């Protein structure tokens, strides 16, 4: 379209304007009536042209919000009144800067084989315009996976997954295949690992290859391969398999092997202010098998955690471990060998944490009683080491600092 609308005043026919509306293009046609040489008519033409294009641009600008609901349909446009049915369909319609709102209700997904995914999301956001998947009511959007595979495989970069309830028979809750993800405030629980204890492994949340830089914060993880506690070394609560990840303020319990574990190419992790109990191992630092780094896992900070009532170890190193690993101000109790590491250890407390209401099954209140020895710690160490996560400064206490009991 010519830059000067006045040059169209004597146009003999319709003029077509093509406007972008998200991934698709919308063709809009309008007809300009010949105006002659009257200045008044020409001014009116200018006004109508500008006003018309302005209205069309507003009408065609895509909303950065998409909606998913159990009563929706994937043939819908994904609006609040006509939502999609599946998260994968919303992902396909999304672009950087979009928020996908998922309504309360049950979302049944199937992952029939170990490497299949009930939900596969592939779109990427950008550092300045992330794509956000949000349960509009915390833990009310319930994803139930059947089969032996993965509930949600997230392959995009710069995305957030916030506030979901994930459970079922599969081996993974959330598999983070992309870089710079934020996995926050989810309840991942009662994954039965129906495929058994195999090399395919299992985890509530797993960072899988690539550059990492994943933030895992504020999640409650409970009963992951619970029936195999002490008998299966390939099922973890939070599994860190790549560099530069931050694990903070999570409550992890009832896991077959380690509550929080590094392996493969993990290094430069920040693991702070977590509460881990009733697992075979509390926290394991190290690398091994495919992707292990030449110098092993190094430059890790493990600080201000409460590790309680685990079977074999509280905090332990295993596999290939490098230099400059720090273990600071952790409280470890009733966990076999409390700590066996080669890194720098300081401020370890071997005493009862004094939870408000400790329940072995994960349904208690894991805040701390007044006077608990865990009501101290070094807030300078407790903050995430990677500035890109921009997480808030942690309080001067040990363990997860979430508010209220976590019973469901």
Mean pLDDT of 255-265: 97
The position carrying tokens 């672009």 is 95
> Residues with Cβ < 8 Å from 86, sequence gap 6 or more?
68, 74, 107, 119
Going from the C-alpha of 134 to that of each of 87, 112, 219, 247, 279, the distances in angstroms are: 10, 26, 14, 20, 29
The position carrying tokens 């800067």 is 97
Say how far apart CA 44 and CA 350 lie, in whole Å: 82
What is the DSSP track for 238-286?
A: EEE-SBS-EEES-EEEEESSEEEEE-TT-BS-EEES-EEESSSEEEEE-
Q: How much is the pLDDT for 401?
A: 75
In this structure, how many other beta carbons lie within 10 angstroms of the beta carbon of residue 128?
8
Q: How much is the pLDDT for 210?
A: 79
Q: In this structure, what DSSP letter does residue 8 have?
A: G
Q: How much is the pLDDT for 227?
A: 95
Query: For residue 408, what pLDDT band results from cuts at 50, 70 and 90?
Result: low
Say how far apart CA 25 and CA 284 lie, in whole Å: 51
Backbone angles phi, psi at 88, to 5 degrees: -65, -35
Token digits of residue 151? 């509930």
In this structure, how many other beta carbons lie within 10 angstroms of the beta carbon of residue 351?
12
pLDDT in tens, 108-130: 999 999 999 999 999 999 999 99
Say how far apart CA 114 and CA 170 lie, in whole Å: 8
Say how far apart CA 399 and CA 408 lie, in whole Å: 20
The position carrying tokens 């303020």 is 249
* Residue scoring higher pLDDT (387 or 120): 120
Q: Are 243 and 270 in contact (CB under 8 A)?
A: no
Name the nearest CA neighbour of 100 among 139, 66, 74. 66
Query: For residue 406, what pLDDT band results from cuts at 50, 70 and 90?
Result: low
pLDDT in tens, 213-245: 999 999 999 999 999 999 999 999 999 999 999
Q: In this structure, what DSSP letter does residue 369 have?
A: -
Query: For residue 78, what pLDDT band results from cuts at 50, 70 and 90?
Result: very high
Mean pLDDT of 8-20: 36
Question: Mean pLDDT in the chain?
Answer: 85
* Residue scoring higher pLDDT (158 or 19): 158
Token digits of residue 308? 């309680």
CA 105 to chain centre: 20
Q: Are 123 and 156 in contact (CB under 8 A)?
A: yes
Residue ranges of domains in the chain, CATH in brackets: 5-60 (no CATH), 65-389 (2.160.20.10)
Token digits of residue 74? 């994937």
Say how far apart CA 134 and CA 186 lie, in whole Å: 10
Burial class (CB in 10 A: 0-12, 13-18, 19+), 356: middle
pLDDT in tens, 276-321: 999 999 999 999 999 999 999 999 999 999 999 999 999 999 999 9
Say how far apart CA 305 and CA 406 lie, in whole Å: 18
Name the nearest CA neighbour of 282 among 361, 229, 216. 229
Name the nearest CA neighbour of 56 among 20, 95, 13, 3. 20
Evaluate if residue 355 carries a pLDDT over 50: yes
Q: What is the 3-state secondary structure (H, E, C) of 321-359?
A: ECCCCEEECCEEECCCEEEECCCEEECCECCCCCEEECC
Query: For residue 397, what pLDDT band results from cuts at 50, 70 and 90?
Result: confident
Going from the C-alpha of 225 to that of each of 143, 177, 235, 310, the distances in angstroms are: 18, 22, 7, 15
Parallel/antiparallel/unpaired status of strands 331-333 and 355-357: unpaired
């Amino acid at each position: 379209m010519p830059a000067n609308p006045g040059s169209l005043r004597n146009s003999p026919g319709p003029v077509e304007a093509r406007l972008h509306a998200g991934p698709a293009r919308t063709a809009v046609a309008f007809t300009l009536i010949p105006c002659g040489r009257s200045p008044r008519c020409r001014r009116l033409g200018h006004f109508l042209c500008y006003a018309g294009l302005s209205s069309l641009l507003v009408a065609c600008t895509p909303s950065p919000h998409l909606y998913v609901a159990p009563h929706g349909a994937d043939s819908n446009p994904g609006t609040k009144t006509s939502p999609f049915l599946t998260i994968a369909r919303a992902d396909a319609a999304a672009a950087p800067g979009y928020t996908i709102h998922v309504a309360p209700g049950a979302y049944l997904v199937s992952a029939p084989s170990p490497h299949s995914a009930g939900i596969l999301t592939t779109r990427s956001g950008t550092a300045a315009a992330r794509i956000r998947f949000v349960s509009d009511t915390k833990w009310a959007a319930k994803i139930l996976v059947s089969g032996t595979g993965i509930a949600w495989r997230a392959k995009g970069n710069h995305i957030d997954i916030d506030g979901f309830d994930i459970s079922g028979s599969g081996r993974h809750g959330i598999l983070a295949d992309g870089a710079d993800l934020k996995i926050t405030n989810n309840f991942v629980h009662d994954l039965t690992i129906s495929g058994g204890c195999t090399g395919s492994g299992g985890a509530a949340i797993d960072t899988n290859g690539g550059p990492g830089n994943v933030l895992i914060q504020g999640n409650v993880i409970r009963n992951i391969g619970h029936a195999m506690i002490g008998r299966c070394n390939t099922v973890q609560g939070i599994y860190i398999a790549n560099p530069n990840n931050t694990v903070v303020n999570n409550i992890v319990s009832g896991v077959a092997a380690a509550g929080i574990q590094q392996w493969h190419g993990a290094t430069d992790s920040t693991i702070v202010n977590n509460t881990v109990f009733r697992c075979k191992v509390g926290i394991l630092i190290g690398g091994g098998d495919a992707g292990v780094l030449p110098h092993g896992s190094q430059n890790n900070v493990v600080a201000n955690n409460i590790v309680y009532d685990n079977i074999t170890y509280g905090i332990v190193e295993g596999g290939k471990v490098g230099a400059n690993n720090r273990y600071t101000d952790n409280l470890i109790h009733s966990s076999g060998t409390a700590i066996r590491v080669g890194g720098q250890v300081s401020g370890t407390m071997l005493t009862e944490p004094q939870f408000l209401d400790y329940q072995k099954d994960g349904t208690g209140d894991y805040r701390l009683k007044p006077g608990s020895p865990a009501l101290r710690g070094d807030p300078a160490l407790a903050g995430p080491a990677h500035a890109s996560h921009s997480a808030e400064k942690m309080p001067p206490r040990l363990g997860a600092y979430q508010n209220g009991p976590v019973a469901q």
